[in-house]
Chains A and B, each alone.
Chain A
């Protein structure tokens, strides 16, 4: 299945990745190639087969809702690109 340039930009927007116009063709070709071989799955009948999300079909384990970690905010924020007063800084969102 061929992916067109316009679709590459739409997918890239969903993934929040800037793709330059010059690179769009290359991605369209690569993604189409990957989808082409993925299409092989279409030939097999999977009606009634339960999707398998986990090797043991396990469900998420729950623990008691208790505080187990101390507050280490400063330590965690030490690697952040921009913080102020314990807050992460980003460009203005609300005018």
Chain B
């Protein structure tokens, strides 16, 4: 059943056509056989998965199964899991076992989902290619020479390779949507505050948001319903009603106003990506949507503002890794300062150090106003652009990433060229809006994603549009060769 969706699997489980244990064994065997090719998992939790599957089967037999009971899934290794190590892709946390579960992990387990393992990722979620992981790069199932995107690259690659029907991820500047696009699956970054950040290793706290990966919008709707909701342990989670995200999936999109930001189709956009995305927009038009040209005049400032704000927050958040309370400690420290400095130098990789240094610089005396304060002002200009645009239209649509997946190693030596992979996604994080990527075709065998952006807490509408699009396209049904 590895080709089936979450919705199909859940229905088969409830009908007793398959047990969660059978399904779990099947996927664990598939992981063992295929994952060495793509390196999408850091930790495989076979024993816990078998126990959880047996418990789910008992619930299903007693007629107590919900929409995720017995459904296998993979968590990004940024979510703390009690009793299973949480590395965040870093040497710093290589043996770290969190003393508690993240709220996302707890909610998915409570809904009966079965965790198969923990997904590889860019170190501390800093990256767009999954090359910065201490546990090695992840390869794209569509082309093993290509990156899967990042930072949630392992989650995206695993779902694309049919190692699991679903996975969790986090998105600070595009880390769900961009790998979803580059790996040919669906990914949703919810509104900031929609999903609890408790137990999610912090990168940039005013931007971080958790969300689901799957192959269909319908599955995203099921998964988001289980993840979303206010949490007393995350003071930034928002107390806003969680609707039934599946209810409106089939609603007609006739008359829907789709804003097409001119700034998303400018210089730097790959010509193949442009033509696939334009074709996808035509498809939406064919379903009755009305395309409206729109402007986001400050869009090009999102990237520089992001690369001040995110590193600044990261430099502060990552100060907790001190070699004292948990995480890597250097051997034979000569003094407390030596302990801090060498533990952090040995525990963090290059990109993480770069961002801590940039963030430290931007927050340091004499530079705060020029960088951090300026970036926060620019952030408001970017957010205001989105707000004004979304007063005129229902959703915005454009490419998720300016190019298809690039080759492993291609951008490794130039941080700024890597950052460009997120030019269409990180403005959405600055504004705190929800965004979704849905498969929209291929370029030279590598997937292309269509990004949909909605108003605050309007995830249901994004899911509706993506679902209608998937009803009349079959990009999401294509399977990478070797992973049939």
Chains A and B are bound partners: yes
CB of B301 within 8 A of chain A?
Answer: yes
CB of B243 within 8 A of chain A?
Answer: no
Q: Chain B 312-338, CB within 8 Å of chain A: the 1/0 string?
A: 000100010011111101000111111
Complex-state Cα separation, A65 to B342, whole angstroms: 38
Q: Is the CB of B193 within 8 A of A56?
A: yes
Q: Is the CB of B354 within 8 A of A40?
A: no
**Given the known A-B contacts A14-B364, A50-B380, A52-B377, are A91 and B344 also in contact in the complex, defined by CB atoms under 8 Å?**
no
Question: Which residue of B335, B344, B378, B416 is within 8 Å of A17 (Cβ)?
Answer: B344
Q: Is the CB of B354 within 8 A of A18?
A: no
Q: Is the CB of A53 within 8 A of B376?
A: yes
Main secondary structure of the interface of B (DSSP, over half): helix
Complex-state Cα separation, A81 to B95, whole angstroms: 11
Q: Is the CB of A46 within 8 A of B374?
A: yes
Question: Which residue of B191, B303, B373 is within 8 Å of A37 (Cβ)?
Answer: B303
**Given the known A-B contacts A11-B357, A55-B193, A79-B326, are A16 and B337 also in contact in the complex, defined by CB atoms under 8 Å?**
yes
Q: Is the CB of A52 within 8 A of B308?
A: no
Which chain B residue has the least Cβ–Cβ distance from A46? B377
Question: Which residue of A11, A35, A37, A76 is within 8 Å of B360 (Cβ)?
Answer: A11
Q: Is the CB of A40 within 8 A of B377?
A: no
**Given the known A-B contacts A17-B357, A51-B376, are A75 and B99 also in contact in the complex, defined by CB atoms under 8 Å?**
yes
Complex-state Cα separation, A93 to B324, whole angstroms: 13
Complex-state Cα separation, A51 to B309, whole angstroms: 11
**Given the known A-B contacts A55-B383, A56-B193, are A17 and B353 also in contact in the complex, defined by CB atoms under 8 Å?**
yes
Query: In the assembled complex, how far is the CB of residue A71 from the closest CB belonging to chain B, in whole angstroms?
Result: 12
Which chain B residue has the least Cβ–Cβ distance from A43? B301
Q: Is the CB of A34 within 8 A of B416?
A: yes
Question: Which residue of A14, A40, A56 is within 8 Å of B304 (Cβ)?
Answer: A40
Q: Is the CB of B380 within 8 A of A60?
A: no
Complex-state Cα separation, A90 to B333, whole angstroms: 9
Which residues of chain B are near A19, meaning CB under 8 Å? Answer: 345, 353
**Given the known A-B contacts A54-B206, A79-B326, are A61 and B358 also in contact in the complex, defined by CB atoms under 8 Å?**
no
Question: Which residue of B300, B326, B341, B431 is within 8 Å of A55 (Cβ)?
Answer: B431
Which residues of chain A are near B99, meaning CB under 8 Å? Answer: 72, 75-76, 78-79
Q: Chain A 51-83, CB within 8 Å of chain B: the 1/0 string?
A: 111111010110100000000100110111110
Complex-state Cα separation, A51 to B383, whole angstroms: 11
CB of B265 within 8 A of chain A?
Answer: no
Complex-state Cα separation, A31 to B303, whole angstroms: 15
- Looking at B7-15, B115-123, B231-239, B390-398, the stretch in contact with chain A turns out to be B231-239
Which residues of chain B are near A75, meaning CB under 8 Å? Answer: 99
Query: In the assembled complex, how far is the CB of residue A44 from the closest CB belonging to chain B, in whole angstroms?
Result: 6
CB of A4 within 8 A of chain B?
Answer: no
CB of B371 within 8 A of chain A?
Answer: yes
Question: Which residue of A50, A51, A60, A81 is within 8 Å of B323 (Cβ)?
Answer: A81
- Range for the number of chain A residues in contact with chain B: 35 or more
Question: Which residue of B232, B305, B354 is within 8 Å of A27 (Cβ)?
Answer: B354
Query: In the assembled complex, how far is the CB of residue B131 from the closest CB belonging to chain A, in whole angstroms?
Result: 15
CB of B255 within 8 A of chain A?
Answer: no
Q: Is the CB of B307 within 8 A of A38?
A: yes
Which residues of chain B are near A44, meaning CB under 8 Å? Answer: 298, 301, 378, 381
Q: Is the CB of B432 within 8 A of A90?
A: no
**Given the known A-B contacts A38-B371, A56-B238, A90-B336, are A17 and B307 also in contact in the complex, defined by CB atoms under 8 Å?**
no
Query: In the assembled complex, how far is the CB of residue A41 from the closest CB belonging to chain B, in whole angstroms?
Result: 5
Which chain B residue has the least Cβ–Cβ distance from A33? B416
Q: Is the CB of A51 within 8 A of B301?
A: no
CB of A85 within 8 A of chain B?
Answer: no
Query: In the assembled complex, how far is the CB of residue B294 from the closest CB belonging to chain A, in whole angstroms?
Result: 20
State which residues 94-113 of B face A: CB under 8 Å. 95-97, 99
Q: Is the CB of B415 within 8 A of A30?
A: yes
Complex-state Cα separation, A39 to B362, whole angstroms: 12
Q: Is the CB of A18 within 8 A of B325?
A: no
CB of B146 within 8 A of chain A?
Answer: no
Q: Is the CB of A16 within 8 A of B377?
A: no
Which residues of chain B are near A14, meaning CB under 8 Å? Answer: 360, 364
Question: Which residue of A49, A52, A60, A88 is within 8 Å of B235 (Cβ)?
Answer: A60
Q: Is the CB of B345 within 8 A of A17?
A: yes
CB of A12 within 8 A of chain B?
Answer: yes
Which residues of chain A are near B323, meaning CB under 8 Å? Answer: 81
Complex-state Cα separation, A50 to B374, whole angstroms: 10
Which chain B residue has the least Cβ–Cβ distance from A74? B99
Q: Chain A 1-14, CB within 8 Å of chain B: the 1/0 string?
A: 00100011001101
Complex-state Cα separation, A59 to B375, whole angstroms: 19
CB of B406 within 8 A of chain A?
Answer: no
Q: Is the CB of A37 within 8 A of B416?
A: yes
Q: Chain B 11-53, CB within 8 Å of chain A: the 1/0 string?
A: 0000000000000000000000000000000000000000000
Would you mind naming 9 contact pairs between A and B with Cβ atoms under 8 Å apart? A16-B341, A17-B353, A44-B378, A52-B430, A53-B376, A72-B99, A78-B97, A79-B96, A81-B329
Q: 3 closest A-B pairs (Cβ-Cβ)?
A: A55-B432, A51-B376, A18-B345
Q: A34-B415, A39-B304 are in contact. List 18 more A-B contacts (CB 8 A).
A: A7-B361, A11-B361, A14-B364, A16-B322, A17-B353, A34-B358, A41-B375, A49-B380, A50-B380, A52-B430, A53-B206, A55-B383, A56-B192, A76-B99, A78-B99, A79-B95, A81-B324, A90-B333
